[in-house]
């Protein structure tokens, strides 16, 4: 698998920017649309973004992805970016969508989600650590990196931080 063309630290910066400019609501579809829009403006020249609300380039495999143009199978080279968003607020909802990214092949992978305030304070790091364990046992993703971003849902004031971002591999979850 080629190394990502988008460094994890750059993805983390994009996520923090999108989080900081996010809507003043907990409505899932609004947040998904916001992140689709914020990632779509970062698409490099010659790459197409796919995601809900992006016109005829609707969702493909994951909530948001980038691909080089292709005219048939012989010219398809794979995904540049695959991103999954989960706004359910529970650990189970986050883990269910996060697991998908281990199975998706892309040069860069990003997960953004939220947890209810009480769960956020105690389980964000646990989810990052569980992702390390999952990648270390995964048959095809042991050498991969997933950028994982988790923030609080609902009352943001319950915790001191607004969002946490890690570069997760099969060896560690490093804060970005």
- At 4-32, the pLDDT tens digits run 479 999 999 999 999 999 888 888 889 99
Q: Assess contact for 23 and 34: CB atoms under 8 A.
A: yes
Give tens-digit pLDDT for 69-103: 778 888 888 889 999 999 988 999 999 999 999 99
Q: Where are the domains of the chain?
A: 8-175
Specify the DSSP element, H or E, that contains 83.
Answer: strand 79-89
Q: How far is Cα 61 from Cα 3, in angstroms, rounded to an integer?
A: 21
Is 104's pLDDT higher than 70? yes
């Amino acid at each position: 698998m080629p190394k990502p063309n988008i460094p994890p630290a750059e993805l983390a910066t994009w996520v923090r920017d999108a989080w900081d400019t996010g809507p003043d609501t907990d409505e899932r579809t609004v947040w998904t649309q916001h992140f689709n829009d914020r990632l779509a403006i970062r698409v490099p020249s010659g790459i197409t973004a796919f995601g809900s609300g992006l016109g005829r380039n609707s969702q493909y495999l994951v909530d948001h992805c980038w691909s080089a143009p292709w005219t048939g199978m012989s010219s398809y080279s794979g995904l540049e970016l695959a991103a999954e968003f989960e706004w359910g607020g529970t650990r189970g909802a986050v883990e269910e969508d996060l697991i998908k990214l281990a199975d998706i092949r892309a040069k860069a992978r990003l997960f953004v989600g939220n947890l209810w305030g009480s769960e956020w304070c105690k389980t964000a790091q646990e989810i990052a650590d569980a992702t390390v364990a999952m990648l270390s046992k995964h048959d095809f993703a042991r050498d991969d990196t997933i950028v994982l971003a988790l923030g609080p849902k609902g009352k943001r004031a319950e915790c001191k931080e607004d969002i946490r971002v890690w570069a997760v591999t099969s060896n560690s979850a490093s804060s970005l």
